[in-house]
Amino acid sequence: MITLLDLFSIAAISAGAFFFFAGTVGLLRFPDALTRMHALAKADNVGLGLVALGLIPRAESALSALKLIVIWALVLLSAASTTQLIGRALRRGRK
Amino acid sequence: MTAELGTATPGGYLLVLAILLPLAGIILSFTPGGRNAERAALCSTPFGFALACAIAFHVGQGGKPIVYAIGGLPPPLGIALRADGISAVMLIAAAAIVTAAAFYARTKFATPDGIRESRSALTFWILLQAIWAALIIIFVGGDLFNLYVALEILTFAAVPLVCIDGRAETLAAALRYLLFALFGSISYLLGVALFYGAHGTLDISLLAQRVQATPVVWTAAALMTAGLLAKTALFPVHLWLPPAHANAPAAASAVLSGLVVKGSFFLTLRLWFYVLPALPTDKIAAVLGWLGSAAVIMGSIVALRQARLKLLIAYSTVAQIGYLFLVFPLAAGAHAWSAIGWSAGLMQVLAHAFAKAAMFFSAGLLAEALGHDQIARLGGAARALPLTFLSIALGGLSLIGLPPSGGFSAKWLMLQASIASGQWLWSLPILAGSLLAAGYVYRILAPALSDGEVSLELRPKRSHEMIALALTAIAIALGFAPQTFFDFLEIGHPVAAGPP
Amino acid sequence: MTPSVLAGLVGATLVGLGLYGLILHPHPLRKLLAFNLMGSGVFLVFGIVARRGAAAGFRFDPVPQAMVITGIVVAFAASALAVALILRLSEESSRVTLDPEAWTKPDSGDAK
Amino acid sequence: MSLLPYLDIGLALLVVVVAVWTIAARDLFTSVVGYVAYGLLLAFVWIRLYAPDVALTEAAVGGGVTGVLLITAGKRLGARKNVAPEAQPGLAFRLLTGVLAALVAGALGAVILMLPDPPPSLAPEAAAAADGAGAGLGNPITAVLMSYRSFDTMLEKMVLILAVVGVWSVGTDKAWGGAPAPFRRPKPYAPMVFLAQMLAPVGVLIGIHIFWTGANAPGGAFQGGALLAAMWMVTMMARLAEPPRIDTQRLRLALVAGPAVFLIIGLAGKVVAGSFFAYPPALAKPIILFIEAFMLLSIAAALPMLVAGPPSERADQ
């Protein structure tokens, strides 16, 4: 018995998985480190966000739903910071 | 599951106290820091010696091992501590040598005036207590994983002592030692995992009842033995030992050579004689015996070729460790001669511990007095430093195995066991090792006794010479050990207690 | 093939790989990495022992798992000590090597 | 029919491939990076073995903190460039080692398949004891660590102190008492500062949460302490905090707090509960949480000090 919420979950998680896939293709196909990082960070942020969104209706309690959101926020934060740091390391390396 | 019968025997609580005393010493050394480290070590070692004697008293009085289940929880879920005859004797030996090392090191590792705390002093005193604590756990531990943690404490305490003076040479020696020791620990731990997977317990006495000769048990035993051999520096995995022991400060060398390698050897004994007495171990015992024989010959020959006194003594440790492993073929099974082999092995452990500690102490005094430890330049040194050389000569006597000494008793008993058991082949390395040892001891004494002028940079303290001499006196006195002493060593020994 | 058997085989492979690297790599930091690899293989063996011991309503035997936690912390402490030694050795000397021959100076008998 | 077995096989292959890469990589730094990735993958394996406590520890200590340690070391060694490429061992030696390693791995694999069935287990004993001495701890691993095998746990905390002493002792005499070198030499960098400011409060909260729930759910002092340690390290990397001088009493107290409290309560157990390291059943849970709180502090202090290395003469400049 598939409810509307299930459909929503399937759609959101599938969309998230697509973004991950696109990000991975980008990682493999883009020519240099900066563009690869761009593909990875952007796609992963959106992809993980969609997966988390899809899982929220399936969470057991409000607290676990909140945890999902916190996880996404933490990944956003770390992805943003690490891409900055790696980018700077790259720029210094080129000079 | 409250306290069942048998969770603690009279005097069992002493085992916990004996372990907690040096641990408390470490904590008190570290937290206020500074000179407290030295004070804590010097105060706790005599107390520890008294505790070890009390434990021996209880073991001897009851005539059976004393046991303490920590937290009142008996194995398999809890951890038990057990002290039998050999534990009690080793506890006393360890306490005596650590106490001697502590008082010997007072001048070299005193915190200099005017500063609150110095690197080498704080490190030395904390690590000395840590070595001692680890050894106590190794001697009384009854649980294989608990013993793993103790082995790691021993590693973490021994390695930084090697490079305490910070020269590149000693750092490299310490790093090699660390890598060998880590390999040893992880290999041991893998064996522990397999033992647990096969029998659901790590308690030594429970395992002894449950083990059977299955491939899992053989693999576990092989892995643990390989790890322990790397830590004991048995030939051919001995290469880390000479640079590490020869470059450490004398007080540390004495403890490393006299005691630390005996810790992992003790666990090898525990493994084969206490966990696996039910297994047919003839072939393994023969392999260990061959490796030991090779160590005796190789170690002695390389010792003969050393130019530096401390390196010579360190290679002699490699050789003397070889003798220890002859105990496996000579004490196997439940024959009349097994008990002789067993006594011989333990006597060798004790005699070497005291003699070698004294020799390293003396070599340290010598190096400080002369400013070098080149054997070729020792001419006339014996006349200038008679007491120091008396210790070296008497220690050497025990290493060679000349009567009367502990070393003589050990080697004599080994010969007896090898002939009584019909394994006369083992008497060859024993005799060859003695001849070679006579050679390298002569190499030290001959130039020192010859004529020559030496200039002393520093006259060694009389108290330091007396500490070394006292330890050699014990090594000699072991040669007069009465039969009751050997009976005491048999307390709790499974082969003696049960059927073959 | 159950996950625990699979993990056990992975553990055995890791022990072999680690042993190979530990013996063969000349650089001490590479040796340390190999040691850690070997260590994690050993911990996996504990892990499958724990998983197989599922009983009495537990999905695992807690005792080996607790041992792994202790083991991981100890292995980390060992790595830290080794790294400190390697870095100091590289400061003190122009060569980071464990080759005993490199340190044998036959005529330096001076006690320091 | 489920996908899970295939995922398991894929994960296993991935772990082995990354491990081979770590060993086979030509370059030191590549190998270090491979090892860090390997540590994170291993956490998934632990989840599949129903070992969330171990997975948390592996991710935090095995992958995380060890990763920082090794990457820092690899970078410093790489910068010094004095790691002369040594003569590679000869082919015969390589082959021999390979055969030896393969033999060990093969024997071990075979023996693992031979482990007895039904497997022995202490789970029933632990379940039975959980009503008594385990005393109300919902997480059996915490019960093992803090009650049945508390002696091991206390000794392991002593190992951490000794490791700190060992790491410090590798420094120079002149530097003794000073602070370890800062985590990053250059000036603070804005994104790092931003990360530390955002992450540290959340991380500390999560760390304390993991410690607190550890009595009943996966987690505990180890995992919580490792997280707190990581947050302190992030703060130090952003230069929002500097490594403390090693002779400060506050640091020393924090380092010994865990084992010291453990030791005192263990001694008191003889008087209060009749046996060393026993707890009175009614009070077991609060006492265990009390000890764990101090252990949390000690771990959070010890791990960053181990990564920071010995005191440095340049730290004060």
Same domain flag for D156 and D284:
yes
Same domain flag for D253 and D132:
yes
Whether the per-residue pLDDT at B150 is higher than 60: the answer is: yes
What does DSSP assign to residue B274?
A: I
Q: Is residue D112 part of a domain?
A: no
CB contact under 8 A, D198 and A78: no
CB contact under 8 A, A78 and D191: no
- How do beta strands B66-69 and B80-83 pair? antiparallel
Q: How far is C109 from chain D (nearest CA, A)?
A: 24
Chains sharing 3 or more CB pairs under 8 A with chain D: A, B, C
Instruction: Identify which of B3, B20, B30 has the shortest CB distance to residue D161.
Output: B30
What does the alpha-carbon distance between residue D174 and residue D314 come to, in Å, rounded to a whole number? Answer: 11
Q: Is residue D98 part of a domain?
A: no
Q: How far is D68 from chain A (nearest CA, A)?
A: 14
**What integer pLDDT is reported at residue D132 of this predicted model?**
54
**What integer pLDDT is reported at residue D85 of this predicted model?**
53
Q: Is residue C106 part of a domain?
A: no
- pLDDT tens digit string along B193-226? 999 999 988 999 888 888 888 899 999 999 999 9
Q: How far is C13 from chain D (nearest CA, A)?
A: 5
Dihedral angle over CA of D282, D284, D285, D291, nearest 10 = 150
Share of chain B above pLDDT 90, in %: 53
Residue with the larger pLDDT of the pair A82 and D261: D261
**What integer pLDDT is reported at residue B213 of this predicted model?**
85
Instruction: Identify which of D111, D125, D249 has the shortest CB distance to residue B77.
Output: D125
- pLDDT tens digit string along D157-213? 999 999 999 999 998 888 888 888 877 666 777 888 888 888 888 889 989 998 888
Whether the per-residue pLDDT at B498 is higher than 50: the answer is: no
Instruction: Identify which of C57, C62, C90 has the shortest CB distance to residue D141.
Output: C62
| Rounded average pLDDT over B151-178 | 92
**What integer pLDDT is reported at residue D87 of this predicted model?**
61
| Rounded average pLDDT over C67-76 | 92
Q: Which structure tokens are listed for D296?
A: 């949390």
Q: Contact A87/A34 with Cβ under 8 angstroms?
A: yes
Dihedrals φ, ψ of C110, to 5°? Answer: -70, 125
| Rounded average pLDDT over D309-316 | 73
Residue that the structure tokens 């009567």 belong to: B403
What does DSSP assign to residue D281?
A: G
Q: Is residue D275 part of a domain?
A: yes
Stretch (H or E) spanning B81: strand B80-83
Q: Which residues of A49-74 are buried (b: 16+ CB within 10 A; e: fewer)?
A: bbbbbbbbeeeeeeeebeebeeebee
Domain boundaries, chain B: 1-142, 158-279, 288-500
Range of the domain at D18: 1-82
Q: By mean pLDDT, which of B359-368, C10-19, C58-67, D299-308 is the weakest?
A: C58-67
Q: How far is C43 from chain D (nearest CA, A)?
A: 10
| Rounded average pLDDT over D91-116 | 88
Interface residue D171 vs chain B (CB under 8 A): yes
**What integer pLDDT is reported at residue C60 of this predicted model?**
82
What does the alpha-carbon distance between residue C88 and residue B176 come to, in Å, rounded to a whole number? Answer: 14
CB contact under 8 A, C100 and B176: yes
CB contact under 8 A, B163 and D170: yes
**What integer pLDDT is reported at residue D219 of this predicted model?**
80
**What integer pLDDT is reported at residue B156 of this predicted model?**
94
CB contact under 8 A, B163 and C85: yes
| Rounded average pLDDT over A21-39 | 85
**What integer pLDDT is reported at residue B320 of this predicted model?**
93
- Which residues partner with B68 through β-bridges? B8, B81
Q: Contact B75/B67 with Cβ under 8 angstroms?
A: no
Interface residue A81 vs chain D (CB under 8 A): yes
**What integer pLDDT is reported at residue D317 of this predicted model?**
41
| Domain stop point among D54, D82, D110 | D82
What does the alpha-carbon distance between residue C99 and residue B179 come to, in Å, rounded to a whole number? Answer: 13
Give the C-alpha distances (Å, rounded to integers) separating B202 from B77, B148, B176.
9, 11, 30
Q: How far is D44 from chain C (nearest CA, A)?
A: 11
Residue with the larger pLDDT of the pair D280 and B262: B262
CB contact under 8 A, C7 and D98: no
Task: Calculate ∠ Cα B15-B20-D248, nearest 5°.
Answer: 170
Residue with the larger pLDDT of the pair D312 and C71: C71
Residue with the larger pLDDT of the pair D90 and D184: D90
Q: How many domains does chain D have?
A: 2
Q: How far is A73 from chain D (nearest CA, A)?
A: 10
Dihedrals φ, ψ of B65, to 5°? Answer: -60, 150
Whether the per-residue pLDDT at D133 is higher than 70: the answer is: no
Q: Is residue C111 part of a domain?
A: no
**What integer pLDDT is reported at residue B496 of this predicted model?**
44
Rounded to whole angstroms, the maximal C-alpha distance in chain B is 74
Residue with the larger pLDDT of the pair B63 and B228: B228
What does the alpha-carbon distance between residue D51 and residue B397 come to, in Å, rounded to a whole number? Answer: 57
Share of chain D above pLDDT 90, in %: 24
Q: Is residue C101 very low, low, confident or very high in pLDDT (cuts 50, 70, 90)?
A: low
What does the alpha-carbon distance between residue B358 and residue B43 come to, in Å, rounded to a whole number? Answer: 22
Q: How many domains does chain C have?
A: 1
- pLDDT tens digit string along B267-291? 999 999 888 887 777 888 899 999 9
Interface residue D159 vs chain B (CB under 8 A): yes
**What integer pLDDT is reported at residue D81 of this predicted model?**
55
Contact exists between A and B (3 or more beta carbon pairs < 8 Å): no
Share of chain A above pLDDT 70, in %: 95
Nearest chain D residue to A75 by CA distance is D199
* Chain D residues 119-148 within an 8 A CB cutoff of chain B: 119-122, 125-126, 128-129, 132-133, 147-148
Q: Is residue D64 very low, low, confident or very high in pLDDT (cuts 50, 70, 90)?
A: confident
Q: Is residue B1 very low, low, confident or very high in pLDDT (cuts 50, 70, 90)?
A: very low
ipTM, interface predicted TM-score of the complex: 0.92
Residue A82 CB coordination number (10 Å): 14
Whether the per-residue pLDDT at D83 is higher than 80: the answer is: no
Whether the per-residue pLDDT at C94 is higher than 80: the answer is: no
Q: Is residue B2 very low, low, confident or very high in pLDDT (cuts 50, 70, 90)?
A: very low
Q: Is residue C19 part of a domain?
A: yes
Same domain flag for D168 and D264:
yes
Same domain flag for D12 and D129:
no
CB contact under 8 A, B373 and C111: yes
Average pLDDT, chain D: 84
CATH number for C26: 1.10.287.3510
| Rounded average pLDDT over B85-111 | 91
**What integer pLDDT is reported at residue B228 of this predicted model?**
95
Dihedrals φ, ψ of B223, to 5°? Answer: -65, -45
Radius of gyration of chain B (CA): 22
Residues 6 or more apart in contact with residue D40 via CB below 8 angstroms:
D59, D63
Range of the domain at C81: 3-94
Q: Is residue C108 very low, low, confident or very high in pLDDT (cuts 50, 70, 90)?
A: very low
As a whole number of Å, the end-to-end CA separation of chain A is 60
Nearest chain B residue to D167 by CA distance is B160
- How is B299-318 classified by DSSP, letter by letter? HHHHHHT-SBHHHHHHHHHH
What does the alpha-carbon distance between residue B169 and residue C101 come to, in Å, rounded to a whole number? Answer: 11
3-state secondary structure of D180: strand
Q: Which residues of D touch A (CB under 8 A)?
A: 189, 191-192, 194-195, 198-199, 202
Average pLDDT, chain C: 81
Q: Is residue D97 part of a domain?
A: no
| Rounded average pLDDT over D220-249 | 88
Chains sharing 3 or more CB pairs under 8 A with chain B: C, D
**What integer pLDDT is reported at residue D67 of this predicted model?**
87
